């Protein structure tokens, strides 16, 4: 019998930060306005994706540094930073700086693996070391050690008027406890648990057999559905985490409430989801990835579907993903409905707006 869904404790949202190449500032300002609105509506967190060499935010930490100066309460996260594009030491410095400036509100999410289209960008990204770069979990372990305050240098002391530290500066206490790993497989979920990280799950999972499957002439058994695979990964993560069932997990499905949407918006949202449905019907690509269907409907309908979702039933935190290509007014409507209709239907209560306790 699946567990009874626990009341939703934390509600967040995730955006790509889409912009027009002819006016990129406007798109970035729209994203900052969205984060500010999220805080006003009582959201617990706002998350940004990375989009390198695309028309979405390529430097989330820079945008979140600006967002930190425009807000005072909402948590600010990356979901996720692909470490293949980053130097762990430099990233650790930037993470600590933004965290301190935001008052300890940064929640860095990251993942490992080669950069997307690496064969096309290697010459610009790693022209001299491209064949020697480690894109596996060793790269993540370097970042973890540096954020936790382990030595980055074997020298500390004073040279003239310059003072040097062994560890990354600035150091932000508590930041290491707010590191999240974006996992889509059992192996990566287990690893994240063993490292004591928080877990970000999304609308993509990689099905894996629990044990090696012997060669046989019979056709392979059908794969389990997305929700069951996601739930299994969450359980594996917690089984390997020092905090066990208390280990934090956030789910990031695409969820679009239509309570206050206009007829034109409803038609757009359903058409968007319908166009993306074929990819959810069978494993995709060489890795056989499974995609979750986008959820569109009234908050009452969405709450019912989420309560029946095996993955959702394992969590009490979410960062629902906003569709990539909608207009600013669509995002305002979706966020407003999430905060005023769907969130409460899932048992969530908004945080007090800034200044409410004054």
Tell me the CATH number at 113. Answer: 3.20.20.30
134-157, pLDDT tens digit by residue? 999 999 999 999 999 999 999 999
The reply to whether omega before 80 is within 30° of 0 (cis) is: yes
| 224-228 average pLDDT score | 87
Residue 1 lies in a domain: no
Closest CA to 252 of 281, 222, 226: 226
Nearest-5° Cα angle at 26, 22 to 28: 110
- What is the enclosing helix (H) or strand (E) of 204? strand 204-205
Residue 2 lies in a domain: no
> What are the residue ranges of helices labelled H in the chain?
24-41, 60-70, 88-101, 118-125, 137-147, 186-194, 226-239, 263-276, 299-307, 328-337, 343-345
Distance separating alpha carbons of residues 77 and 350, to the nearest angstrom: 18
> What are the residue ranges of helices labelled H in 42-154?
60-70, 88-101, 118-125, 137-147
pLDDT at position 199: 98
Strands (E), 28-183: 45-48, 75-82, 106-111, 157-159, 162-164, 180-182
The C-alpha torsion from 94 through 99 and 100 to 102, rounded to 10°, is: 120
pLDDT at position 294: 98
45-69, pLDDT tens digit by residue? 999 999 999 999 999 999 999 999 9
Residue 95 lies in a domain: yes
Q: Domains in the chain: how many in total?
A: 1
Q: Which two tokens stand for residue 146?
A: 């540096």
What sign does the dihedral 252-347-299-230 (CA atoms) show? Answer: positive
Residue 354 lies in a domain: no
Tell me the residue range of the domain where 171 lies.
10-121+133-151+165-209+224-345
Distance separating alpha carbons of residues 74 and 61, to the nearest angstrom: 15
Distance separating alpha carbons of residues 216 and 176, to the nearest angstrom: 47
282-326, pLDDT tens digit by residue? 999 988 999 999 999 999 999 999 999 999 999 999 999 999 999
Residue 109 lies in a domain: yes
Distance separating alpha carbons of residues 143 and 135, to the nearest angstrom: 12
Residue 27 lies in a domain: yes
Q: Mean pLDDT score of the chain, rounded to an integer?
A: 93
Residue 158 lies in a domain: no
Residues 113, 82: contact at Cβ < 8 Å?
Answer: yes
Closest CA to 306 of 352, 253, 263: 253
Residues 6+ apart with CB under 8 A from 25: none
pTM for the complete prediction? 0.94
248-290, pLDDT tens digit by residue? 999 999 999 999 999 999 999 999 999 999 999 999 998 899 9
181-213, pLDDT tens digit by residue? 999 999 999 999 999 999 999 999 998 864 443
Place of tokens 């790269």: 139
- Which is more confidently placed, 140 or 353? 140
Asked whether the predicted pLDDT for residue 356 surpasses 70, the reply is no
Asked whether the predicted pLDDT for residue 170 surpasses 50, the reply is yes
Residues 289, 283: contact at Cβ < 8 Å?
Answer: yes
The reply to whether omega before 229 is within 30° of 0 (cis) is: no
Residues 6+ apart with CB under 8 A from 203: 252, 253, 254, 291, 292, 294, 321
pLDDT at position 216: 43
DSSP three-state, residue 101 = helix
Residues 260, 249: contact at Cβ < 8 Å?
Answer: no
Residue 352 lies in a domain: no
């Amino acid at each position: 019998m699946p567990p009874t869904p626990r009341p939703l404790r934390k509600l967040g949202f995730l955006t790509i930060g889409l912009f027009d190449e002819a006016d990129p500032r406007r798109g970035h300002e729209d994203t900052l306005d969205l984060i500010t609105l999220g805080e006003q509506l009582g959201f617990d967190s706002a998350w940004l994706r990375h989009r390198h060499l695309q028309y979405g935010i390529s430097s989330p930490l820079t945008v979140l540094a600006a967002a930190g100066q425009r807000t005072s309460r909402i948590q600010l996260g990356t979901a996720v930073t692909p470490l293949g594009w980053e130097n762990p030491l430099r990233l650790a410095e930037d993470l600590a700086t933004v965290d301190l400036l935001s008052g300890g509100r940064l929640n860095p999410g990251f993942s490992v693996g080669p950069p997307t289209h690496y064969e096309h960008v290697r010459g610009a990204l790693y022209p001299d070391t491209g064949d020697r770069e480690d894109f596996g979990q060793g790269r993540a372990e370097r970042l973890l050690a540096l954020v936790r305050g382990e030595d980055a240098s074997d020298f500390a002391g004073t040279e003239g008027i310059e003072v040097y530290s062994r560890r990354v500066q600035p150091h932000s206490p508590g930041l290491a406890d707010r590191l999240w790993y974006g996992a889509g497989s059992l192996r990566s979920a287990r690893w994240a648990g063993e490292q004591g990280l928080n877990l970000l799950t999304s609308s993509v999972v990689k099905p894996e057999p629990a044990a090696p499957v012997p060669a046989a002439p019979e056709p392979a058994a059908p794969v389990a559905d997305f929700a069951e695979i996601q739930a299994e990964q969450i359980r594996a993560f917690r089984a390997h985490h020092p905090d066990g069932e208390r280990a934090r997990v956030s789910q990031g499905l695409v969820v679009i409430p239509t309570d206050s949407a206009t007829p034109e918006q409803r038609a757009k949202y359903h058409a968007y989801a319908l166009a993306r449905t074929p990819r959810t019907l069978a494993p995709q690509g060489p890795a056989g990835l499974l995609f979750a269907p986008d959820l569109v409907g009234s908050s009452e309908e969405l709450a019912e579907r989420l309560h029946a979702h095996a993955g959702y039933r394992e969590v009490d935190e979410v960062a629902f993903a906003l569709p990539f290509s909608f207009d600013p007014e669509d995002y305002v409507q979706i966020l407003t409905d999430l905060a005023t209709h769907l969130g409460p239907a899932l048992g969530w209560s908004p945080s007090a707006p800034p200044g409410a306790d004054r």
